Structures are given as C-alpha cells and as structure tokens.
C-alpha cells in the first residue's frame, strides 16, 4: 500500500518502474485496463474462448476451487456451464457432457448453435 499508493480495489493501467516511483500505480479507474483484466480472468483462468463459432474450454484454476459456473449467451441461446473439480486439480478435462451427451474431443470444443434453447455443459476436471 505504501509503495502502490493507489486504490487497491481497482485495476491500474500502469505500474511505474522509474527510479523513485518503482511499484507505484497510475491511471486508476481506467476502463481499458478493467476490460483486459476481465478477459485475462475469463480466458486464462476459466479457460473460456470463442473462436469460429465454437466454445473452447481449458480451465487453469487454483486446486482449492471445488467448482465454478459460467452462463454464456450465444444469439438467442444460453449455455449454462458447470465445471466441477472433485480431485482438486489445477487443469485437465477428465469428462464433459453437452445436454447429457458425452464429449470425447480434447481439447474440449463445442460448436455453438443459435436455436433459442438452454444448453447445459458439464465438465469434470481431473
């Protein structure tokens, strides 16, 4: 706190490296940095990416997380994603199901459809 000198609850766009200011934050409440932080969390931690109409999921979470959930809208459709971590691992998809049907493809990839339905993706890490 003494070095950073800015609000600890917002994302700073800059952390200075200049002598006399090393570690000090700057440009707080900068919306661009918040967007990048959200993207880093969703893509790098939760492992969710959308490419060419397909949902790709490859989480890399703390082993202490027992589960997480994501709701994704794709057009008029909604995808309810539940990721379970019963073995306390950090990554690796052991099993996956979309609307009750097993998905064997790894890395995990699901073609998104815009059919106005609610789809349920269940993933077990291990």
Answer yes or no: is pLDDT of 4 > 80. yes
What is the DSSP code string of 22-75? TT-EESTT-HHHHHHHHHHIIIIIS-EEEETTEEEE--B--TT--EEEEEEEET
pLDDT attached to residue 100: 97
**Structure confidence at residue 84 (pLDDT):** 98
Q: How many CB atoms lie within 10 A of CB 124?
A: 17
Note the Cα 115 to chain centre separation in Å.
24
Q: For residue range 27-53, list pLDDT tens digits in order.
A: 888 777 777 888 999 999 999 999 999
Domains of the chain, CATH where assigned: 1-45 (no CATH), 50-125 (2.60.420.10)
Q: Which of 68, 34, 28, 20 is nearest to 48 (CA)?
A: 68
pTM of the full structure? 0.79
């Amino acid at each position: 706190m003494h070095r950073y000198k800015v609000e600890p609850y917002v994302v700073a766009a800059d952390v200075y490296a200049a002598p006399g200011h090393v570690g000090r934050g700057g440009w707080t409440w900068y919306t661009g940095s918040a967007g990048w932080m959200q993207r880093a969390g969703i893509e790098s931690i939760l492992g969710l990416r959308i490419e060419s109409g397909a949902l790709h999921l490859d989480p890399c979470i703390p082993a202490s997380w027992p589960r997480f959930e994501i709701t994704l809208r794709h057009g008029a459709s909604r995808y309810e994603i539940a990721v379970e971590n019963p073995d306390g691992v950090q990554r690796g998809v052991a099993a996956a199901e979309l609307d009750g049907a097993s998905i064997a493809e790894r890395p995990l990839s699901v073609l998104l459809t815009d059919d106005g339905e609610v789809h349920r993706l269940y993933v077990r890490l291990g």
